[in-house]
């Protein structure tokens, strides 16, 4: 049971990060190239999240979060 907790926490972090990216994209002032990177990372991250690859999901979202100026509060 103890092994399930980190995976569960990762899933929550991915949900939170995806939601944060979605919210920030609505008002972001990024170049077209940077917005394309954010959108691609977000789409890829959601696929990974659905496949229960939450560590990969978080790593994929890290660049999108940085481009959007969102502080990483999960330590990934």
Q: Over the chain (76 residues), what is each successive 10-residue block's mean pLDDT? A: 41 84 94 97 94 91 92 65
Q: pLDDT at position 26, please?
A: 93
Residue 74: DSSP 8-state: S
C-alpha triplet 51, 39, 62: angle, nearest 5°: 70
Q: pLDDT at position 11, please?
A: 58
Q: pLDDT at position 66, please?
A: 93
Residue 53: DSSP 8-state: -
Please tell me the pTM assigned to this model.
Answer: 0.78
H/E stretch holding 20: helix 4-25
CB 48 within 8 A of CB 54: yes
Q: pLDDT at position 73, please?
A: 67
Q: pLDDT at position 13, please?
A: 81
Distance of CA 59 to the CA centre of its chain: 7
């Amino acid at each position: 049971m103890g092994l399930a907790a980190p995976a569960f926490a990762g899933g929550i972090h991915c949900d939170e990060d995806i939601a944060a990216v979605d919210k920030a994209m609505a008002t972001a002032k990024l170049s077209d190239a940077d917005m394309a990177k954010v959108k691609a990372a977000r789409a890829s991250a959601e696929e990974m999240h659905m496949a229960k690859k939450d560590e990969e999901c978080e790593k994929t979202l890290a660049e999108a979060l940085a481009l959007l100026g969102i502080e990483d509060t999960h330590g990934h």
